[in-house]
């Protein structure tokens, strides 16, 4: 297919590369021209604007930080809707607000343009290795057309239903992940101060009912003191904040989600904005007067 890709950040650059490697013709655009250098070397074509990237393509993929960014890129005077022809499709890979997705999909439909919300999960490693999970909301026929294309970025592509439900799934997933991460910090410090070997505790939980994706990788990263730099507290606060908006819209009293949101906002606003969400263990260590980083052993 002839594709465009807008947003070549930590995730987008790898997803675009995998689509290109799958044989698709691609135009690319980002606020930073240098973000596209490697893709251009591999065969992509640089476009000087979003609108020019979208001219004549069958679909444009978006990978952008937040709902206002997506709205601006789609509706701006030199944006997606200004360049995309009727019959083409917008595929939004961003973590977005379901209500924003539905709003943009309506604007696109008014111009004869399709819209799929297709947020992804799996982090930068999953983006690089094309192992992402992709949650896709939108028209069933449109989904069927683009499912083979989406499998170039990850093998687990889910048809979640109506437009916006891809992001419903993504926000719920991320809220669960962040709740588990905050619980992991407490568990490691409780275990250490109570006298149990933390590698032993890690292995026990892995074999028991308290296990989670956050525990599998997060506990090892903390105990080895090899904290990643992939998912900042700022992004985490944005995602779980969107989850709280969803909880409010649906009338669900999300007590754990709300508490975790307030915790992550607090970390963000007190020195952790640009640090990975797992780096919040440092604040927990300071409060507990005990350090668990570096306690890994074979």
pLDDT tens-digit series, residues 1-35: 999 999 999 999 999 999 999 999 999 999 999 99
pLDDT tens-digit series, residues 236-288: 999 999 999 999 999 999 999 999 999 999 999 999 999 999 999 999 999 99
Give me the residue label for tokens 């619980």: 183
For the beta carbon of residue 88, count every other beta carbon within 10 angstroms.
22
Share of the chain above pLDDT 70, in %: 100
Which pLDDT band holds residue 230 (cuts at 50, 70, 90)? confident
In the annotation, is 170 catalytic?
yes
User: Is the pTM higher than 0.85?
Assistant: yes
**pLDDT at residue 229, as a whole number:** 86
What are phi and psi for residue 162, nearest 5 degrees? -65, 165
CA 134 to the chain's CA centroid: 10
pLDDT digit string, tens, across residues 92-113: 999 999 999 999 999 999 999 9
Domains of the chain (ranges; CATH) run 2-162 (3.40.50.720), 168-288 (1.10.1040.10)
Distances (CA, A) of 200 to 47, 117, 126, 194, 260: 53, 42, 28, 13, 27
Classify the phi-psi angles of 85: left when phi > 0, otherwise alpha if psi is within -120 to 50, otherwise beta: beta
Euclidean distance between CA atoms 203 and 216, whole angstroms: 9
Average the pLDDT over 110-118 and give the result.
Answer: 98
Residue 207 in this model has a pLDDT that exceeds 90: yes
Averaged pLDDT for residues 156-182: 97
Residues 6+ apart with CB under 8 A from 183: 214
Residue 118: CB partners within 8 Å, gap ≥ 6?
91, 92, 93, 134, 135, 136, 137, 150, 166
Q: At what angle do helices 213-223 and 198-206 cross, to 10 degrees?
A: 170
CB contact at 8 A, 260 and 182:
yes
Per the residue annotation, which of 170, 193, 224, 282 is the catalytic one? Answer: 170
Are 95 and 170 a contacting pair, CB within 8 Å?
Answer: yes
Residue 199 has pLDDT above 90, yes or no: yes
Relative to beta strand 133-137, strand 120-121 is antiparallel
**Distance from the first to the final alpha carbon of the chain:** 49
Per residue in 210-228, pLDDT tens?
999 999 999 999 999 999 8
Say whether 158 sits in a helix, a strand or coil: strand
Mean pLDDT along residues 143-165: 97
Collapse the DSSP code of 202 into the 3-class scheme (helix H, G, I; strand E, B; otherwise coil) and give the result. helix
């Amino acid at each position: 297919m002839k594709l465009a890709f807008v947003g070549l950040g930590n995730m987008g650059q790898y997803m675009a590369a995998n689509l290109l490697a799958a044989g698709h013709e691609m135009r690319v655009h980002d606020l930073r021209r240098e973000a596209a250098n490697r893709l251009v070397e591999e065969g992509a074509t640089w476009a000087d604007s979003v609108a020019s990237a979208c001219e004549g393509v069958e679909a444009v993929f978006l990978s952008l930080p937040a709902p206002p960014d997506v709205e601006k890129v789609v509706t701006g005077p030199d944006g997606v809707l200004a360049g995309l022809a009727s019959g083409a499709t917008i595929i939004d890979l961003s973590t977005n607000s379901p209500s924003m997705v539905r709003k943009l999909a309506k604007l696109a439909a008014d111009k004869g343009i399709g819209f799929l919300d297709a947020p992804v999960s799996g982090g930068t490693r999953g983006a690089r290795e094309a192992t992402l999970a992709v949650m896709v909301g939108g028209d069933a026929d449109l989904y069927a057309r683009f499912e083979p294309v989406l499998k170039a970025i990850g093998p687990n592509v889910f048809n979640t239903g109506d437009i916006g439900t891809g992001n419903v799934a993504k926000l719920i997933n991320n809220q669960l992940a962040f709740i588990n991460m905050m619980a992991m910090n407490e568990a490691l410090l409780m275990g250490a101060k109570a006298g149990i070997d933390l590698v032993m505790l890690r292995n026990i939980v892995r074999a028991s009912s308290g296990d989670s994706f956050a525990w599998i990788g997060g506990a090892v990263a903390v105990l080895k003191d090899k904290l990643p730099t992939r998912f900042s507290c700022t992004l985490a606060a944005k995602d779980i904040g969107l989850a709280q908006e969803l909880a409010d819209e649906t009338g669900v009293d999300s007590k754990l989600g709300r508490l975790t949101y307030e915790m992550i906002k607090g970390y963000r606003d007190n020195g952790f904005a640009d640090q990975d969400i797992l780096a919040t263990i440092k604040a927990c260590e300071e409060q507990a007067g005990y350090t668990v980083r570096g306690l890994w052993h074979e």
